[in-house]
Amino acid sequence: MDEGNAAMFMSWKSTRGRSTARMSESTTGAWDAGVSAQQNRYRYGAPIGLAVGTQVATNRGWCAVENLCPGDMVLTFDAGLQPITELRRSVLDDAHNIGARTDWPLWVPAGALGNEAEFTLMPHQTVMVESDLAEEYSGDPFALIPASALEGRLGIARRAPQMEQEVITLHFEQEQVVFVNGSALVLCPAALGGDMTRSGSYEVLDILQAQAIVQDLEPRPAERPAPQAVH
C-alpha cells in the first residue's frame, strides 16, 4: 500500500462513528410523489435497489425480491430478522435513461462476491465486502463501497441494458445490510419519510477509498445463511 492510500485510510479510520453517508434523492434520482410500491420510470440515472430475480434471505427461506411485500421479515447482517417497511419499484429503460455508461448495470459472475449465481447490481448500489486491507486500516474487515468501484475486478463488468429491467428497493426502519444470492451483502436504505436524524451504523467509503479496497479483493465462495432457522 503506497503512502497516499495509507493516508487516505487513516483519514477514513478517524471518521468512523460518524453518521452513514446516505444517498440522498439528489444523488440517486428523485422518486415521483406517490404511495410505496408504485412503479416509476427512472429518468435520472440508475436507481439503487435489486434487479428482479435477485434472491433475498427471509424467515421463509430464499425469496425473489419481486415477490416480497411490506411486512415481510428479511435476514440482516447486524440486526437479525427485520420487517420491510416500504418497497419501491422502478424501471430501467435504455431508451430513456441509461444512455450514459456510468449508469449501466454491473454483471457479477457467480462466486465473485459470495453469490451462488450471476446477478446484476445497480452501479450506485452500496455493497458490503470483506477485506484484509480494510481491517488493517480501520480495525473492521467489512467495508461498504459503491458497486461502481467493482468494475473490472473479479470478472465484474458493465452491461448496457437491452430491454426494460425492473429494480426493487427495499426500505427498513433503519438502514440494513441484507443477504442476497447466497452470502453477497447489499445495503438497503431507511424508510422514506422516516426519522432521518437517527444515525445509522454504516459508513460508505468514497470512490477512491473503495477502489483501493477493491484491488485487495479475492473471489469469495457462496455460503448460504439459513434464514428459515432464525426466529
For residue 174, CA distances in Å to 40, 105, 177, 198, 223 come to 23, 26, 10, 8, 25
Residue among 58, 55, 53 nearest 226 (CA):
58
pLDDT attached to residue 116: 93
Per-residue pLDDT of the chain (231 residues; tens, 9 = 90+): 555 554 544 444 444 433 333 332 322 332 232 233 333 333 345 678 999 999 999 999 999 999 999 999 999 999 999 999 999 998 876 554 556 788 889 999 999 999 999 999 999 999 999 999 999 888 999 999 999 999 999 999 998 876 788 999 999 999 999 999 999 999 999 987 654 444 457 899 999 999 999 998 988 877 766 555 443
pLDDT attached to residue 107: 96
**Angle, vertex CA 10, rays to CA 208 and CA 196, nearest 5:** 70
Copy the grid coordinates of residue 49: 435497489
Residue among 172, 158, 125 nearest 144 (CA):
125
R_g over Cα of the chain? 17
